[in-house]
Structure 1
Amino acid sequence: MKNIKNVILLTILTLSFSCSDNYLDVNGSSASPSSASPALLLPAAQKNSADMLYNADILNGSGDSFNLIGSIHAGVMADSGDRVWYQPEQQYLIINTTYQRIWNNTYTLTLSNYVFIENFEGEGFDNFKAIAKIMKAFHFAMLVDTYGDVPYTEAFARGSNTQPAYDDDKAVYDIIYDELNAAISMIDNAPDGTLPVSTDAMFGGDMSDWQQFANTLKLRMLLRQVNTGEDLSAKYNEIVNNGIGFITSTAAIDPGYADQTSQQNPFYTVFGFVPGSTTPARNNEATRGNEFFVDFLKDNFDDRLSRLFLPADSDSEFRGIPQNVYTNEFRTNATSALGPGLLIGSTQPLQVMLGSEALFLQAEAVQRGLISGDAGALYRSGIAASFAELGVPDAATAAADYESGAFSNKINWDLAVGAGNEIEAIITQKWVAGGFISGFEVWMDRVRTGFPSGIPIPVDARSTVFPSNLLYPESELATNPDNVPDQPNNAAFDRHTFWMQ
């Protein structure tokens, strides 16, 4: 594995040096996919995928990302009481410039490379093209979830069409779902000798893992649509009966991160420490847990608490912060910083989908009667996987003791069954497991299900309803005004994506 990472790192370095003086700045200006091969572009595209999730503004290091906005609106993350880093987000102030980099850079830095790989005219790249299709579907699903209608069919015509039409969000979902199936078939039928072993920074060329990842994405997309009323039973049957299965451990990107400037894991770059030092990184001292989230862990004696957070410097207590409260009581040194289960080190792999999420997805689908299985067993396995992912000692035993000993029907499965509260228990545990790691997913779960229940609206927020969408970016309004769909003033709160019904 070390040799694979070295090859990947060398590949990215070669590409970036040919385009820029900045490490990994592979697409900033002159990084033209037209002069590269799929083998050269794949690790760069995957590195950009990681950035979109955790640091979409990689050049400025602002931390704007799907994970950050999701963690805030899912009631997980809060701003230190003596900082104002996340004040607009906590006030629910959403305008056309809010996190617009995640739109712009997803299209220009990430999807453009996957589209090039997918359409490359050359033999021997079938598995590369399949990976590109899967990752393209992954990113387009997030764009639809965030905005609704998006440019798809005309999105990558380059200079021949600088004002692409917007496609219906449901139509895009259906297309990319079919693309996932096409990618799975491509892998099955790919000629021997086309495995991208040395340049795949995610699964090291293991195409069975890629098929399982695609199948798990399909399950995620189907569960997004549980409130639409559409009969998707044939699709549920297909993902179970195709014999592929789902991911059994966390899918992560690791191009060879290093403890050097501009080479760190992007999550650690934003929330960790400056390379080779104990100096806090840009967002480290501003980022704390929402009081509601921290108290849920404390009140239920959750061993993940000390993995997610550190005790406050002032009194060694674990303490979160009510969102949008800026007082000395909740200053930086009086509240809990991010803990060792999150900030492992600058070289840690970058999580794309947690293994625990895959188990919770299956548990929900079983509980809703959409696939067969044992929902309780899958739920308990999801909790155990989360404990292991965060590095809780003796994770399996600790997780079992936590679940079985709890008096809450949001934790103890038997109590959840007795209360008819199974779905809330599943979503709540998924929220704990992924809140700081898969913030976007837990936000979308809150939009889709209303769970976890009881998350308070921030003090002095501009809405009594938490946000469900972002607005189309100012860049689109300026350059593509005739095609951008109309959005009312309350568009960020009206659940306008097709599955938010």
Structure 2
Amino acid sequence: MKNIKYITGIIALLLILSCSDEYLDVNGSSSSPSNASPELLLPAAQKNSADMLWRASISNDSDISFNLIGGIHAGVISDAGDRVWYEPEQQYLILNTTYERCWENTYRLTLYPYHLIENFEEDGYDYYKAIAKIMKTFHFAMLVDTYGDIPYSDAFGRGNNTQPTYDEDKAVYDAIYDELNVAIDMIDNAPTGTINPQTIDAMFVGNMLRWKQFANTLKLRMLLRQVNTGENLSTKFSEISGNGIGFLVGTASIDPGYADQTDQQNPFYTVHGFNAGSTTPAQNHLATRGNEVYVNFLKDNDDPRTTRLFTPAVSDGEIRGIPQNVYTNDLRSEATSALGPGLLKSSSQRLFVMAGSESLFLQAEAVQRGFMPGDAGALYKAAIAASCAELDVPTPATAAATYESTSLNNLINWNTAVANGKEIEAIITQKWIAIGMISGFEVWMDRVRTNFPSFIPIPTGALSTTFPSNLLYPESEYATNSANVPTQGNNGAFDRHTFWMQ
């Protein structure tokens, strides 16, 4: 779907939002974007949701995002040997300024407009409000996963509330899980005459069943985050598997009108692809490379996705990754593999929010752990096939079946994984392969939660031998809200604070 006619309105609204210093204050003034209609707010908010995943700023310094730092820490992305784009991340140098716009702009540019939609006072917008609740949950969960305690119940209070209190992370998770149920109920019980956002919705073009399935899959993701907490989650797992909604089929993605024009490209392509209207490499194109461990796992196992994920090195035509935090001339940009055609399809490609393969891997894990009925092996194999299709591997079902069935590796072949008690490790490892370059944040959180893949080394020269599991609260919070910012441990980002990592 193309929403080109909304681009002007989106840009105007973004400028209002981005220039506001009081992004946690809904002041209700006549010049406030709170008076904007849901028809204008929704495409702006969805565009910003995409930007937060791969371009956490609308300014030129756009080489930060949740998925970028996630992909680096999950052992998927490395820096080319003649670049120093990602040196601090690969050294585990995490400060209060590290990726702080991920925090700031999640509140300012995504949660705020969704909040305005949710609280719009005119009747007939139940579908819009349900979408806003679902997307607020998506972003709030990401903040909890990254930081722990966050402003939630106090975040959007009217008045001069620029110093919101912090809610405990577990309480936020419980609250937003309940909000997903409220959103599903709103969709199911929307009154006659409810406006369908078909021509506005940049994700599912008003298909409210798909919105419910996305919400149900977010619930599944959140429950699996918590499997190590000791909490009895069986009732919730039974509810999501038996409510008749089902889970996400195919990919959840956004296209607010991406085009091969400056400031209208897909944000992933903007950062890692090529400049608009040219073959000039974008700012990170020559730096972003695959971690040698990730690339070698693909190559060593004849993975059909290898040439879709990476291109041959210019110097000798080999597919070659690079160890993290190693800067040598023999591993320069020309001697290592750039991102491939399965990732960089075009400047107007849709941007992944949740891959269909992830949905299947989540289901496979839940079934294998005994939380839901089903065939874990069949779901696992279907997830690999979905990943091949997402990367445009020729004859993806056949390629995936051959890859899985002929391998002797117990992290690829399901029967071998079962024989060796490696089912969960195989699911998480194959998910790492499938979405590592698409949803790096998710595979980072999987590594924090499960320690899989288990064979990713700490980078050479890293400042700590402990794997980083979170970010520090941003410097801006200490400057404006220091009385409420929770204390983080002596080891900063190497001392996990989020409740689900016990």
TM-score tier after normalising by the smaller chain length: over 0.9
Residue 425 of structure 1 corresponds to 426
Residue 187 of structure 1 corresponds to 187
Residue 460 of structure 1 corresponds to 461
SS of the equivalent of 1:410 reads coil
Structure 1 Cα separation of the partners of residues 302 and 16 of structure 2: 45
Question: Structure 1 residue 158: deviation in Å?
Answer: 5.0
Question: Could you tell me whether the CA contact under 8 Å between 1:257 and 1:263 is conserved in 2?
Answer: yes
Residue 127 of structure 1 corresponds to 127
Structure 2 Cα separation of the partners of residues 154 and 160 of structure 1: 12
Listed one character per residue, the Cα deviations across residues 228-260 of structure 1 (whole Å, up to 9, x for unaligned) are 000011100000111000011000001110000
Amino acid at match of 2:176: I
Amino acid at match of 1:173: Y
Structure 2 Cα separation of the partners of residues 299 and 186 of structure 1: 49
Question: Could you tell me whether the CA contact under 8 Å between 2:259 and 2:347 is conserved in 1?
Answer: yes
Q: How does 1:41-120 map to 2 (within 5 A)?
A: 41-120=41-120
Question: Structure 1 residue 329: deviation in Å?
Answer: 1.4
Amino acid at match of 1:29: C
- C-alpha change, 1:371 and 1:144, in structure 2 (3 Å) is same
Question: Could you tell me whether the CA contact under 8 Å between 1:114 and 1:132 is conserved in 2?
Answer: yes
Question: Could you tell me whether the CA contact under 8 Å between 2:314 and 2:336 is conserved in 1?
Answer: yes
Runs of 4+, deviation exceeding 6 Å: none
Question: Could you tell me whether the CA contact under 8 Å between 2:82 and 2:332 is conserved in 1?
Answer: yes
1:266 partnered with 2:267: yes
Residue 35 of structure 1 corresponds to 35
Question: Structure 1 residue 205: deviation in Å?
Answer: 0.4
Residue 321 of structure 1 corresponds to 322
Name stretches of at least 5 consecutive residues in structure 1 with no aligned partner.
Answer: none
Question: Could you tell me whether the CA contact under 8 Å between 1:26 and 1:44 is conserved in 2?
Answer: no
Structure 1 Cα separation of the partners of residues 232 and 435 of structure 2: 29
Name stretches of at least 5 consecutive residues in structure 2 with no aligned partner.
Answer: 21-30
Residue 246 of structure 1 corresponds to 247
SS of the equivalent of 2:324 reads coil
Question: Structure 1 residue 58: deviation in Å?
Answer: 2.4
Question: Structure 1 residue 480: deviation in Å?
Answer: 0.2
Q: How does 1:335-484 map to 2 (within 5 A)?
A: 335-484=336-485
Structure 2 Cα separation of the partners of residues 27 and 147 of structure 1: 23
Give the TM-score normalised by the residue count of structure 1.
0.97
SS of the equivalent of 1:356 reads helix
Question: Could you tell me whether the CA contact under 8 Å between 1:12 and 1:40 is conserved in 2?
Answer: no
Amino acid at match of 2:85: W
Structure 1 Cα separation of the partners of residues 451 and 9 of structure 2: 47
Structure 1 Cα separation of the partners of residues 260 and 250 of structure 2: 25
1:11 partnered with 2:14: no
Question: Could you tell me whether the CA contact under 8 Å between 1:471 and 1:491 is conserved in 2?
Answer: yes
Question: Structure 1 residue 159: deviation in Å?
Answer: 4.1
Amino acid at match of 1:49: S
Question: Structure 1 residue 495: deviation in Å?
Answer: 2.0
Listed one character per residue, the Cα deviations across residues 432-466 of structure 1 (whole Å, up to 9, x for unaligned) are 00001000000000000000111011011011121
Aligned residues: 491
Give the TM-score normalised by the residue count of structure 2.
0.96
Structure 1 Cα separation of the partners of residues 404 and 447 of structure 2: 22
Question: Structure 1 residue 489: deviation in Å?
Answer: 2.7
Question: Could you tell me whether the CA contact under 8 Å between 1:152 and 1:172 is conserved in 2?
Answer: yes
In angstroms, what is the RMSD of aligned CA positions?
1.1
Structure 2 Cα separation of the partners of residues 433 and 101 of structure 1: 27
Question: Structure 1 residue 161: deviation in Å?
Answer: 1.1
Question: Structure 1 residue 26: deviation in Å?
Answer: 6.0
Question: Could you tell me whether the CA contact under 8 Å between 2:388 and 2:397 is conserved in 1?
Answer: yes
Structure 2 Cα separation of the partners of residues 355 and 389 of structure 1: 8
* Identity of matched residues, %: 71
Residue 152 of structure 2 corresponds to 152
Amino acid at match of 1:409: N
SS of the equivalent of 1:492 reads helix
Question: Structure 1 residue 160: deviation in Å?
Answer: 2.4
Question: Could you tell me whether the CA contact under 8 Å between 2:91 and 2:461 is conserved in 1?
Answer: yes
